[in-house]
Amino acid sequence: MPTSKDVAAVAGVSQSTVSYVMSGKRPISEKTRLRVEAAIEQLTYRPNAGARALASRKSQVIGLVIPLTPESHFGSLMEFIAVIAATARRHDHDVLLVTDEEGNQGLERVVGQQLCDGLILMQVHAEDERIPVVRKLRVPVVFIGIPNDSAGLNCIDADFARAGELCVEEMSQAGHTSGVIIGWRTQLVGSKLNYVDRFLGGAKGAAQGLGVTLDHLPASTDRRSIEAAVDACVAGSDGRPAFISPDMTTLELLPRILREKGLEPGRDASVIGVGAVSEALVELQESTILDIQPRLVSQRAVEILFNLMNADNPDAGGTLELIPPLVTHRHGTAGHSATAPQSTG
Amino acid sequence: MPTSKDVAAVAGVSQSTVSYVMSGKRPISEKTRLRVEAAIEQLTYRPNAGARALASRKSQVIGLVIPLTPESHFGSLMEFIAVIAATARRHDHDVLLVTDEEGNQGLERVVGQQLCDGLILMQVHAEDERIPVVRKLRVPVVFIGIPNDSAGLNCIDADFARAGELCVEEMSQAGHTSGVIIGWRTQLVGSKLNYVDRFLGGAKGAAQGLGVTLDHLPASTDRRSIEAAVDACVAGSDGRPAFISPDMTTLELLPRILREKGLEPGRDASVIGVGAVSEALVELQESTILDIQPRLVSQRAVEILFNLMNADNPDAGGTLELIPPLVTHRHGTAGHSATAPQSTG
DNA sequence: TTGAAAGCGCTACCAC
DNA sequence: GTGGTAGCGCTTTCAA
């Protein structure tokens, strides 16, 4: 493996000149620059990441903390990860995977070892126990998700309140005057994923405005609890029930459960929700799906992080960005086109 | 940030002793070891990853090269990534994400920069253009997938030949005497993902043995081509058609497409295939699913990599490991239980 | 516009 | 069983 010393020798310059050619941190004459670049090419030189990190105190790596809990929807998760990795590369950084299996230990470890210069945390809980730790961390952190107390933190997420409104509007336009939201068990809401709360808030507001009634049936992401919720809803429903859910796993399960009970989604019941669906699958969903735009959210998360990492002020921050959802797919409701993305401002 | 020098000072020992306490590479008296450990604890010392990598020529990181092409099924991909990350941590290593967007450049970069000590490559093609590059790489590499010429390479994958056999057996037991395999376009098979080939081989062999007829309809993972294949099959079918596919996306689309055509999967048609399905969804699949055991495959991949990384012989290797699939879920065929994983030896 | 040299924090060799 | 110390390959002053 050639070193920058070798490059210097070949180019007939000093090692520091090689360094400055690569970093551009000081003016170099056209002539020497070309010589150095030629030498780099010739030797296929690549700077040693460890040495660079040691000397510069920058690893050129960002840590991505991913949730591997049962409630996470792997397909959606991957959608985020893919964009984050690609965006990071565009900024000349790599991505280190940190599973939340290690919990706070993991955060402290990767930052303590100076393995990365910044962190992105996914699946942030309302009262996330990582927050006190994050506040003490000496690297910038961006949350995907909005905790209850986001003061001074940098957060970005889909606008679930708006998504709730849109779902109810969709429901109303599909001719329903009442519907049921299937979300998490109430005892978990508030202490865990609070986007359900935000979603409920938006939905309830819209329901009032539109004069439709809305119930909230708590359910977890397992088949049994969803089934129970469905039974309850069908029993209490006059005619065609409508289901709304902010959770992708639930949205995948619901149509199947309905069919098992002899209800054809779109005809005998409406299913409306938000999620991150892969393009291949979205057009065949039996539900009306609002896209929470994981690609946009991820990209902004990385950009915010890089802004912070390049900021002079070490504790700059306090971003709170909400990305509006898009209606990408309507299904089974008369009078609606099945595609045509539409901005929601 | 405290350094090992600080630890040494607090413990009243030399810096090298601190190093040896951490690495265990030389005997340390109980007494000093405790003193050092106490100092480490007290200062919450964490070794600087860059410095360590520089001095030891080991980064304690493995690179994971993931495919972000349209043909990859994100949910399945995540299943692999999660296990790889967890297993790596258990070996005291971290995982660096390398997207194949960079192609061979990416491989050469992360190895050249000495960002990682080993690589795992996913979604290996039959004539993968990364292979010549990999052979020159100075770090061990494990492939998930089996290229045509695997000589000297370390490969692991699900046993798709066996999976093909099992699918045909399932089909036969479900009372079908003929069926259709929906795989990739033939022109792609052979140059790209060759597990389809292996799958076809196994399936055809079993078909001969069982005296059932089998067609292969090429289709891509998009809705339109699958639909065309379905139409062709239904037209040529007497009675209840059977579909077999080695691709998860196809398996997710098929039941929906069938329903659109008025065919209820399990009753009017059988859908059988292999894939990596999340536990929450598997019991509601409209198909008979053989689990390709992504968790087991991933775990073995990491273990093989660590064996290579610890091997004295730098070009040890030439592993080829096939993991048998499990019948985890049967659907819509009389006389079968809907669950009960069963080993296939 | 360029070079020399002092570290960055760790490991591992050589002494004792 | 332990300590001293020479690098690992880079960045970044300080000098010229």
Residues A200 and A338 in one domain: yes
Q: Give the range of the structural domain holding residue A110, as residue numbers without chain letter.
A: 61-158+294-323
Percent of chain B with pLDDT over 90: 54
Q: Is residue B158 helix, strand or coil?
A: strand
Note whether residue B36 is domain-resident.
yes
Residues A181 and A317 in one domain: no
Query: What are the pLDDT digits (tens) for B270-307?
Result: 899 888 866 656 555 677 888 899 999 999 999 999 99
Note whether residue A52 is domain-resident.
no
- pLDDT for residue B340 is more than 90: no
User: Which residues of A fall within a CB distance of 8 Å from B96?
Assistant: 61, 94-97
Q: What angle do CA A118, A75, B220 make, to 5 degrees?
A: 125
Structure confidence at residue A237 (pLDDT)? 72
- pLDDT for residue B188 is more than 90: no
Question: How crowded is residue B31: how many other Cβ atoms within 10 Å of its Cβ?
Answer: 8
C-beta separation of B279 from B285 below 8 A: no
DSSP secondary structure, A306-344, as one string: HHHHT-SSTT----EEEEPPEEEE--S-TT--S---B--
Residues A259 and A283 in one domain: yes
How does residue A284 score in pLDDT terms, banded at 50, 70 and 90? low
Across the A:B interface, residue pairs with CB atoms under 8 Å apart total 157
B196 CA vs C1 C1’ separation (Å)? 61
How does residue B203 score in pLDDT terms, banded at 50, 70 and 90? very high
Residues B100 and B196 in one domain: no
Query: What are the pLDDT digits (tens) for A296-335?
Result: 999 999 999 999 999 866 566 789 999 999 877 666 543 3
Structure confidence at residue A282 (pLDDT)? 59
Count the domains in chain B.
Answer: 3
Residues B336 and B217 in one domain: yes
A274-303: average pLDDT: 81
Do the chains contact at B112 and A46, CB–CB below 8 Å? yes
Query: What are the pLDDT digits (tens) for A156-196?
Result: 999 999 999 999 999 998 888 888 898 765 545 545 777 88
Judged by a CB distance cut-off of 8 A, whether residue B61 touches chain A is yes
- pLDDT for residue B331 is more than 50: yes
Residues A175 and A254 in one domain: yes
Sheet holding A94-99, edge to edge: A320-323, A154-158, A141-144, A118-121, A61-66, A94-99, B94-99, B61-66, B118-121, B141-144, B154-158, B320-323
Residues B191 and B274 in one domain: yes
A126-139: average pLDDT: 92
List of residues 6+ apart from B178 with CB closer than 8 A: B212, B213, B214, B215, B237, B242
Note whether residue B54 is domain-resident.
no
B198-222: average pLDDT: 88
Return the closest-CA partner of residue B79 out of A296, A78, A147, A220: A78
Cross-strand partners of A63: A96, A119
Return the closest-CA partner of residue B203 out of B216, B194, B220: B216
Residues B152 and B165 in one domain: no
C-beta separation of B276 from B294 below 8 A: yes
Q: Which residue has the higher pLDDT, A292 or A235?
A: A292
> Which nt sits closest to A48, CA to C1'?
D9
Judged by a CB distance cut-off of 8 A, whether residue A2 touches chain B is no
How does residue A283 score in pLDDT terms, banded at 50, 70 and 90? low
Note whether residue B52 is domain-resident.
no
CA dihedral A100, A102, A108, A113 (to 10 degrees): -110
Residues B226 and B130 in one domain: no
- pLDDT for residue B185 is more than 50: yes
CA-to-CA distance for B235 and A335, rounded, in angstroms? 32
Q: Which residue has the higher pLDDT, A228 or A96?
A: A96
Note whether residue B254 is domain-resident.
yes
Rounded to the nearest angstrom, the gap between the alpha carbon of residue A305 and the centroid of all alpha carbons in its chain is 14
DSSP secondary structure, A15-62, as one string: HHHHHHHHH--S---HHHHHHHHHHHHHHT----HHHHHHHHS--SEE
Residues B94 and B105 in one domain: yes
User: Which residues of B fall within a CB distance of 8 Å from A112?
Assistant: 1, 44, 46
Sheet holding B242-245, edge to edge: B213-218, B178-183, B242-245, B270-275, B288-291, B326-329
Q: Locate the DSSP E strands across chain B.
A: 61-66, 94-99, 118-121, 141-144, 154-158, 178-183, 213-218, 242-245, 270-275, 288-291, 320-323, 326-329
- pLDDT for residue A343 is more than 80: no
- pLDDT for residue A130 is more than 60: yes
Q: Strand B118-121 and strand B61-66: pairing?
A: parallel
Residue of B nearest to A251 (CA): B281
**Strand C and A32 CB separated by under 7 Å:** yes
C-beta separation of B62 from B119 below 8 A: yes
| Tokens matching residue A57 | 């105190």
Return the closest-CA partner of residue B36 out of B59, B62, B6: B6
Structure confidence at residue B153 (pLDDT)? 95
Query: What are the pLDDT digits (tens) for B115-136?
Result: 999 999 999 988 899 999 999 9
Structure confidence at residue A314 (pLDDT)? 58
Note whether residue A56 is domain-resident.
no
| Tokens matching residue A173 | 């336009």
User: Which residues of A fall within a CB distance of 8 Å from B249?
Assistant: 280-281
Structure confidence at residue A345 (pLDDT)? 27
Percent of chain A with pLDDT over 70: 88
How does residue B218 score in pLDDT terms, banded at 50, 70 and 90? confident
Note whether residue A54 is domain-resident.
no
- pLDDT for residue B25 is more than 80: yes
pTM: 0.90
A110 CA vs D11 C1’ separation (Å)? 23
Residues B214 and B142 in one domain: no
Note whether residue B221 is domain-resident.
yes
**Which CATH number covers residue B43?**
1.10.260.40
| Tokens matching residue B110 | 């992360």
Residues A181 and A276 in one domain: yes
Query: What are the pLDDT digits (tens) for A11-62?
Result: 999 999 999 999 999 999 999 999 999 999 999 999 999 999 999 999 999 9
Mean pLDDT, chain B, rounded, equals 86
**Which CATH number covers residue A252?**
3.40.50.2300
Structure confidence at residue A255 (pLDDT)? 83
- pLDDT for residue A286 is more than 90: no
Cross-strand partners of B179: B214
- pLDDT for residue B337 is more than 70: no
